[in-house]
Structure 1
Amino acid sequence: MALNTPNLKLVKPEITDKIDVSIANFAQNADKIDAATKQLQDKTASLQSNLDKTKQDVSNLRSSLDNTKKDVTSLQGSLNTTNKNVATNKSEIASNNNRINAIESNISEINKDIATINQTLDVIQSGLDEVKNKAQENKSAIEAMQTQLNQYGERLTALENLLKEPETPPEGEA
């Protein structure tokens, strides 16, 4: 009975094997070795391709890392500039807050002045209303006097007309 190798299961010839069986076993062993060699070559080619891809990936990653380092350096510069701008803006905000407080104080004073002016205007308006009422009363009085004057004028005209008429002698005297 023939023995097989543990990995490829190649047939080991025995002394008692006939030559034709040994040749047949040799042919089978050659096919198995050839197939195993082909699998190893395919796996080696696949591994080499993967290795080449991995090397390219590593190269790309190194390039990307270099670019990222440049970007980080640039961003650090931008961050420093931004921090300076923030400090400047904080200072300007504090200054603007002081200006706003001063303006609010001025507005408060102006509002007090406006209230005083409004009170003065109310007093003036009240005085104007009184003057207007007196003027209306005077106008009514003047209109009444004008009416009386017109009536006096009409009477005067009537009297003048009477005076201008020739006197007629009483009847029987002429």
Structure 2
Amino acid sequence: MSVEIVDKNEKQAKEMIQKLGLKPVAGISRVTFRKKDNSVFSIDAPKVYRSPAGNYVVFGDCKVDNFQERMAEAQSKVQKDPASIQADLAAAAADAEKAEKSGESKIEEEDDNEPVDESGLDAADIDIIVQQANVSRGKAVKALKAHNGDIVNAIMELTK
């Protein structure tokens, strides 16, 4: 249960506003005003009323908002120190090397199998599939034949 403390002047102003036919607007969490000199004033948790003509009346604690300070503060929270960035990069490079080596060994193992009949298929299509799907030439040929020469579907099948 929250208790709202309202001073006498604010209470009188709200009574006058309701007599003028202003309706409360719900769901507004923050209001900002910008002047010509780019100074910004903000009101957090405002009470907002709207007139039938489209004018608004806003109640709340007004603060001078320095956008650049807020952005610098948010950036400092997100930014990492250079040592941790270097460590992350080194770990990612090591993982990439391991994955590349394991991929090469798999291709070498599969290439040792029997030769595959490539008749009726374009060699360039087979090369594209080998590069894109990172598979052996034999698997690329089998996938191309299974999809009647459709490169896109063959790559999609091999990269599942």
Shorter-chain TM-score bucket reads under 0.3
Q: Answer with 1 or 2: which has the greater Rg.
A: 1
Q: Which has the higher contact order (CA 8 A, sep 6+)?
A: 2
More helix as a share of residues:
1
What TM-score do the two structures reach when normalised by structure 1? 0.25
More strand as a share of residues:
2
What TM-score do the two structures reach when normalised by structure 2? 0.27
